[in-house]
Chain A
């Protein structure tokens, strides 16, 4: 069975501070991992996916197969990063399995 765990419900950081959102997954095969973001009053949208190995809006995420983790990091948080973040995986077709989400609040 596929499972995604985001242990933190809320992360509060000051502007300019680093932020790291934790994501752990369980799946016996080789899943594809994603981070989705939902800004206030906007729809859910893809932030980044591990196969693209891109940095989007200053965020990066590294897939660690040994620790089954896909943590999201940004060295200097901005106020516009305040949002709800969801880690997700897909393995069979593109059915997405989401974690419970982490709310990030960046304080000025």
Chain B
């Protein structure tokens, strides 16, 4: 089991563009959470998906949206990119809500 995988590894976009990041959970996990980690800061919770529905959401604008597929993989979409969206985006998976979260390696997004 490769654990949680994320793609792409790095991404460069310009302001106003849209981006889609992808996450495949650890085998057997059904819950996916997304976090944004700005340089020098701890990860911040964006939202969590379970059974293809958004179950919890952090303090992020509607420009951030997501999706979970029947195979539990997930996408994070960000519209109208701002310079401040430059960060490492982490995906974490778990078996339902109350078990340990396993993190992926992250996608480094740079907005120019």
Contact = CB atoms under 8 A, between A and B. Distances in A.
4 A-B pairs with the lowest CB-CB distances in the bound complex, closest first: A98-B42, A44-B103, A93-B97, A94-B97
11 contacts: A6-B42, A46-B101, A86-B43, A93-B98, A94-B33, A94-B94, A94-B101, A96-B101, A98-B35, A98-B44, A101-B42
B90 interface: yes
B103 A94 contact: no
Interface of A: 4, 6, 43-46, 49, 86, 88, 92-101
Interface of B: 3-4, 31, 33, 35, 40-45, 48, 55-56, 58, 90, 92, 94, 97-106
B48 A95 contact: yes
A92 B42 CA distance: 19
A86 B42 contact: yes
A93 B42 contact: no
A98 B97 CA distance: 17
B93 to A, nearest CB: 11
A99 B41 CA distance: 8
B97 to A, nearest CB: 5
A86 B44 CA distance: 12
A95 B42 contact: no
A94 B104 contact: no
Contact of B45 (A43, A86, A97): A97
Contacts of B40: 100
B95 to A, nearest CB: 10
B26 to A, nearest CB: 12
